[in-house]
Structure 1
Amino acid sequence: MSERWARAFLTAYRFAGAVAYPLIGPYVAWRTSQGKEDRSRSRERYGVAGRPRPEGPVIWIHAASVGETIAVVPLVQSILDYGVNIVLTTGTVTSAQVADERLGDRIIHQYVPLDLKPAVSRFLDHWRPDLAIIAESEIWPMTILELGARRVPQVLVNGRLSDRSFKSWKKRANIAEALFENLAHVVAQSDVDGERFRALGARPVTVSGNLKVDTLPPPVDERALATLKRQIAGRPTWAAISTHDGEEVVAAEVHATLYKRHHGLLTIIVPRHPDRAEALAAQISGMGLKLARRSKGDRITADTDILLGDTIGEMGLYLRLTEIAFVGRSLTSEGGQNPLEPAMLDTAVLAGRNVQNFREAYQRLLDSGGAKLVRDRDMLAGAVNFLLSNEVARHEMMAAGAATVDQMRGALAHTLKSLEPYIQPLIVKSRLKGADGR
């Protein structure tokens, strides 16, 4: 596709979005009925502001879902310390909850507008951001084009391109270049990501490391932790976290295999999407295993086989109940999930082989001995059995993972340095406005 055709395509995309805008209502209504949208704030998805714009400079930061939101929290806190207003947008109900829990009223939270011209224009008309910071891989054509048309600097931080995304963009290289030329700077997670953004026309590109490494360990309710530890009463445990379809059954089958070898074994299963809990509970109970559901407040008794962690925002609780964690979306699904949270909480990390989305993090953990990849259910059962049976090896793996995370830190400082040319003028402007009293 030539450059001329690429630009014609993007123009057509803008027009199609305007035409589709009146028809999008049923889609948003369906998402609301599924609990994927906040009914009381659904107008924000159409770009209708839920709050007035504050006086002074405004930075718009966008983080799509929970993982991206957690990753940008330290960055947001650092920018807030300069005295600049931040509007933080997210795309999911759960990420909005995380933003509220960790940042509260220090920021203005809004749901991100749909990537359609009327919604994006309405959002930008109201908030008039002086800078847009986008996290990871949120490439929304209409939003990028509208920001570019208004000459708002756009910086992609913690930038990542998965194998699949890069392959897809390469097939549309001219479109990618027409979009990425609107980015003032890309701060990539890794050298591989950096080279991929450069190949697609982004300039300049720097590499910071992964912001997720510089986050604090996931928080925990100490009272809830103490209660569950009393109920578990020293039983051997292992966890399967961030699991996707099929991996929960694998974890339950591993439990059934190992229970006789490790008397009193408790398996903790934390699905990536808690809305699947009802079906999972029925499926696991149908295997003859006794289940306790965290969302129901079920007590863990001596004959409980599985603790189903079907709640949001309690990963810190579940990981503190065990020293072994299998990280999902890696055995029956592809891409993997973030292994850094369990590693920073002194947990031996296991995963399937499909971890392309977190390649560098896993490679570092594998090289240090902090993680091990497994091929299938039987290999997972063998790895869990080995770690439960060998305390020294388990603790060596736990320590290696924690040390690796410490060595990987520094992405926040690198990112702030890359953002300095864009943020510093806003800091000066904010202070001058404060001094003028206007």
Structure 2
Amino acid sequence: MSRVSARAALLAYRVAGIALYPLVGSYLAYRAMKGKEDRSRRLERLGFASLARPRGPLVWVHAASVGETIAIMPMIRELRRREIHVLLTTGTVTSAALVQSRLADEVIHQYVPLDVKFPVKRFIAYWKPDACITAESEIWPTTIAELARRHIPQIRVNARISDRSFDRWHNRLSIAEALFGRMSLVVAQSDLDAERFRDLGAWPVIVSGNLKSDTDPPPCDEAVLAAYRRQIGNRSTWAAISTFEGEEKSVAAVHKALKPKNGQLTILVPRHPDRADAIEAMLKEAGLTVARRSRKDVLTPETDVFLGDSIGEMGLYLRLTEIAFVGKSLASEGGQNPLEPAMLGCAVLSGPHVQNFRDAYQHLVRKGGARIVKDTEMLAKAVHYLLVNDLARVKMVDAGHDAMEEMRGALSKTVKALEPYINPLTVSARLQPKAAVAR
């Protein structure tokens, strides 16, 4: 594709957004009906602010969903320590709830505006960010263009690009160069990610490692944890977390195969809790007894599966076991984050499709903290082996801890890379009068 064709394609994208803008209200109403939008805050998606802009330097930080939000929390706290205001946008209801529970007093939260000219212009004109920092992989052409037009630095941190995304962008290289070339800095997770971003036109690009390795373990309510531990008693447990459609059937099959030998409790945490009703129906049809976290069901000796259908409680579920299968890897592709179970003392199991977390899995597998299984039968054998072999399980847990320690350091590298952009803002912030809010 030529540069002229690339410009025409991007122009067509912007024009299409403008043409469809009258339908946006109905689109958001439909999503709100499905529980995918906060009905009371829909105007934020159109770029209308619901809070006042603080006086002084402000950095716009965007994290698409829960995983990205957790990953950048330490970076956000570093910006706040330097007295820089942080406007944090997210795109999902679950990530907004996470921000409210963990960062409410530290950031200004808004839903990210739709990537359409009018909402984006309205949003930027009101908030006037001094820089924009985005996490991981989303690319929004209109937002990139509007920020570039105002000469606002655009920085991508914890950046990764999947095999599929890279191939797609590489086949449209002129469009990629027109977008990625507008980034002021890319801080990539791995050497492979850095090479790919450079190939697509980004410069400069540095490597930091994965910010998720520098996050704190997910918290939990200690009283709730103690109560569930009492209910479980001496039963052995294993968990299947962040599962996608199709993988829950494998979990049920593993449980039924191992129950006569181990009498274990299976903890099942789907990636999308809104699928819990369908998952429970499938489990019951398979003859299994289900207890759900959302109903506060008691775990009895007869309970087969503890269905973790709550939001923001991964720290609870992982502390109830020492064996964790991480989903979107067996019946789906891409993988999910294995670092949280490793840092919370779990031996990690995964299917083979982990392209989105390739570096993390390679490191964990090399150290002995994770094992890849190819199918349901192999998963059952691995879970059984770890349930009955305490020495092997402890060895994997310790190896996972060692791997996590070796992977730390991404935060300091990221902050160092950001210093040319944030140090002047810190100086400006400290010169500001201590007035609270601009009116």
Give matches, 1:16-165, under 5 Å.
16-165=16-165
Give matches, 1:33-432, under 5 Å.
33-262=33-262, 264-432=263-431
Amino acid at match of 2:281: A
Post-superposition offset of 1:79: 0.5
Deviating more after overlay: 186-195 vs 21-30:
21-30
Post-superposition offset of 1:436: 9.9
Post-superposition offset of 1:12: 2.2
**How many corresponding residue pairs?**
437
Post-superposition offset of 1:433: 1.8
Alpha-carbon distance in 2 for matches of 1:164, 1:346: 32
Contact 2:55 2:435 in 1 (8 A): no
Amino acid at match of 2:104: G
Post-superposition offset of 1:430: 1.2
Once the two structures are superposed, residues 272-326 of structure 1 have per-residue CA deviations (whole angstroms, 9 ceiling, x without a partner) of: 0000000111110111111101100110001110000010000000000000000
Amino acid at match of 1:330: S
Alpha-carbon distance in 2 for matches of 1:90, 1:294: 26
Could you say what secondary structure the match of 1:165 adopts?
Answer: helix
Gaps of 5+ in 2: none
Could you say what secondary structure the match of 1:427 adopts?
Answer: helix
TM-score, reference length from structure 2? 0.98
Could you say what secondary structure the match of 1:295 adopts?
Answer: coil
The Cα RMSD (Å) is 1.1
Distance 1:60 1:323, change over 3 A: same
Alpha-carbon distance in 2 for matches of 1:374, 1:59: 43
Amino acid at match of 2:411: L
Alpha-carbon distance in 2 for matches of 1:386, 1:172: 47
Deviating more after overlay: 428-437 vs 141-150:
428-437
Once the two structures are superposed, residues 66-92 of structure 1 have per-residue CA deviations (whole angstroms, 9 ceiling, x without a partner) of: 000000100000100011111000000
Post-superposition offset of 1:26: 1.9
Could you say what secondary structure the match of 1:223 adopts?
Answer: helix
Alpha-carbon distance in 2 for matches of 1:434, 1:78: 21
Could you say what secondary structure the match of 2:238 adopts?
Answer: strand
Amino acid at match of 2:420: P
Deviating more after overlay: 25-34 vs 272-281:
25-34
Once the two structures are superposed, residues 405-430 of structure 1 have per-residue CA deviations (whole angstroms, 9 ceiling, x without a partner) of: 11100000000001000001111111
Residue identity over aligned pairs, in percent, reads 59
**Runs of 4 or more off by more than 4 Å in structure 1?**
435-438
Gaps of 5+ in 1: none
Post-superposition offset of 1:435: 7.4
Post-superposition offset of 1:17: 1.2
Contact 2:291 2:303 in 1 (8 A): yes
Once the two structures are superposed, residues 105-164 of structure 1 have per-residue CA deviations (whole angstroms, 9 ceiling, x without a partner) of: 221000000000001001001001010000000111111010001100000000000001
Alpha-carbon distance in 1 for matches of 2:53, 2:420: 24
Alpha-carbon distance in 2 for matches of 1:150, 1:5: 24
Contact 2:115 2:141 in 1 (8 A): yes
Amino acid at match of 2:398: A
